[in-house]
Structure 1
Amino acid sequence: MPLFALAVTTRLYTALRRCAISSRRRRSKSRAAGCSQTVVVACVGTTASEYLPHLFLPFGARPQKGHASSIQESGMYNHFVQNFVDAQTASLKHYGAIARIEIRLFGETQNPAVRAPDVIEIDTERRRVCETVADRIIEKARDQFAIGSARLVIHRPAIFRLANFDIDRSLSRGELPDFDRLWTVLQTRLRNIHTHAGEAQ
């Protein structure tokens, strides 16, 4: 199982287990108090979107109350991409460790079984993820602030300038672009357009 998938699976199990424990405790308290109404707080019937934010938060951290989309809009974009970078870094370390074991077993070879990704491959994948996330944010904004069935046209260079969002510049500095700022700028600009269009109708 890939390292990132394993980490996500582990966090999902932890979140579901925490929910089940909380449910049992609350039902026990309800019975102890002699309540005739059973208090059910369980994961059954709860949408996955309500628990998905737990997967990308540090262990012990709690997301803000509210719908999952509000959690995403207030900070999940940067956190999501940072989690990818962390998984990428951890994966590289594990590749290196396994490659060293192979060398101890078989010695140096021109055709190793384990090939760790090189710097160019890592940078290319990181850039692809950043560009794809930026595209997804823009498309989400177009869907969310559509006027009727008409989706707004977004001039990417202009929005990127307003958000001071530059993938190449950020990655060349060893940083990540601010996806949360990009979303905030999009949200502010498109909400104003959406509001004025609604008033004009």
Structure 2
Amino acid sequence: MYTALVQQFKDAQTKAAAAYLEVCAAESAAFPKDSDYPYRAASVRSEYSTARELSDFCTRLAHVMVGEAVRRFSPPGGRLEIRDEQELANASIDISGALKAGKCPDFDAFWAHLERTFSGDAGKRIGLVQAAKLVIDGFGLRPESEIKRTSSAIVLDARIWSEPVFRSSARKATYHSSTTAAGLIRGLAAFASNAGFDVLSAQLTRGHLVDYQFTTREKVSLDGLDIVMFNEKWQFKFAHQVGDALSLFISEYGAEHLANRNRY
């Protein structure tokens, strides 16, 4: 099915080339060639341009297929991170090599690889491992990190720097920190969904926290989680039930990544 799209594109290129030739012929008939003025409005596309167009189409098609795999197979509340080039290599799909050999890259085999790798329980686990990594990195956790536990909450700090909003007394996360915040929020949303905290997961997913404009020490209250926003950090105060579940989540899905952070 997907490989056939490449053949359809090649057929379209062939038809387009024939159409260009017809236009060139019609122009030549209308304006007989003059050696003193050889300029023509119409031209036939070069072999290089045609080959490059086909290659670009195949690259974009692979990206579209990866996007579809992300949409279909991501765990609830989370988002799979799938790299086009890595998975093409894992599936032994060589776009350039196939095209140079005059063949269509086997995108049906590529989709079968994506489905086999990321669908079902296997894909769910990959997504949750990726989510745990985002949480660990977002909070800067290491094996020796001490988690602050109070009578009312489990507290974790994320180093998210902020800057003033233009012509406003409010602040917002810096460009660099907003990337950290986005990953952390996405990881926490996946955790919350997996742990059964559906309301919290929905709030994290749809709350637009990354773009939120706040005043220093402002508190954003969610279901089982308060976030206090300072100039140089966001402090996450998890209800004990949520915090304990997060600890178990990291132990189950993030243990390997957490151990490796000792090497950094």
Shared fold by TM > 0.5?
Answer: yes
The yes-or-no answer on 1:92 pairing with 2:17 is: yes
Residue 164 of structure 1 deviates from its aligned partner by: 1.8
Equivalent residues of 2:118, 2:126 under 8 A apart: no
- What is the match of residue 169 of structure 1? 97
Matched, 1:102 2:37: no
Cα offsets for 1:109-140 (capped at 9, x unmatched): 63212112111111111111111000000011
For residues 28 and 4 of structure 2, the distance between their equivalents in structure 1, rounded to whole angstroms, comes to 36
Write the letter of the residue equivalent to 2:30: L
Superposition misfits of 4+ residues, deviation over 6 angstroms:
none
**Structure 1 residues 104, 146: CA separation in 2 closer, same or farther (over 3 Å shift)?**
same
Per the alignment, residue 190 of structure 1 pairs with 118
Kept after mapping to 2: 8 A contact 1:147/1:197: no
Asked if the contact 2:80/2:126 (under 8 Å) is kept, the reply is no
| Separation of aligned partners in 2, 1:114 and 1:87 | 19
Between the aligned partners of 2:114 and 2:97, the Cα distance in structure 1 is 20
More helix by share: 1
Unmatched 5+ residue regions in structure 1?
A: 1-74
Please list every run of 5 or more consecutive structure 2 residues that lacks an aligned counterpart in the other structure. Answer: 128-193, 196-264
How well do the aligned residues superpose, as a CA RMSD in angstroms?
Answer: 2.4
- In the alignment, residue 79 of structure 1 is paired with which amino acid? A
1:149 to 77, 92, 99: 77
What aligned pairs does 1:2-151 form with structure 2 within 5 A after superposition? 75=1, 77-108=2-33, 110-151=38-79
Q: Are residues 179 and 111 of structure 1, via their aligned partners in 2, closer, same or farther at CA, if it must alter by over 3 Å? A: same
- d(CA) in 2 for partners of 1:93, 1:171: 21
Q: Please give the secondary structure, in 1, of the residue aligned with 2:40.
A: coil
Q: Verify the 8 A CA contact 2:75 2:124 in the aligned structure 1.
A: no
Distance across 1 between alignment mates of 2:126 and 2:42: 57
Match of 2:114, SS state, is helix
Distance 1:102 1:188, change over 3 A: same
Larger strand fraction of residues = 2
Shift of 1:102: 2.1
Instruction: Report percent identity of matched pairs.
Output: 26
Shift, 1:183, TM fit = 0.5
- TM-score of the aligned structures, taking structure 1 as reference length: 0.56
CA contact (8 A) 1:141 1:186 kept: yes
Q: Which range moved further: 147-156 or 133-142?
A: 147-156
Q: How far off its partner does 1:190 sit?
A: 0.5
TM-score calculated relative to the size of structure 2: 0.43
Q: How many residue pairs end up in the alignment?
A: 126
- C-alpha displacement of 1:161: 2.6
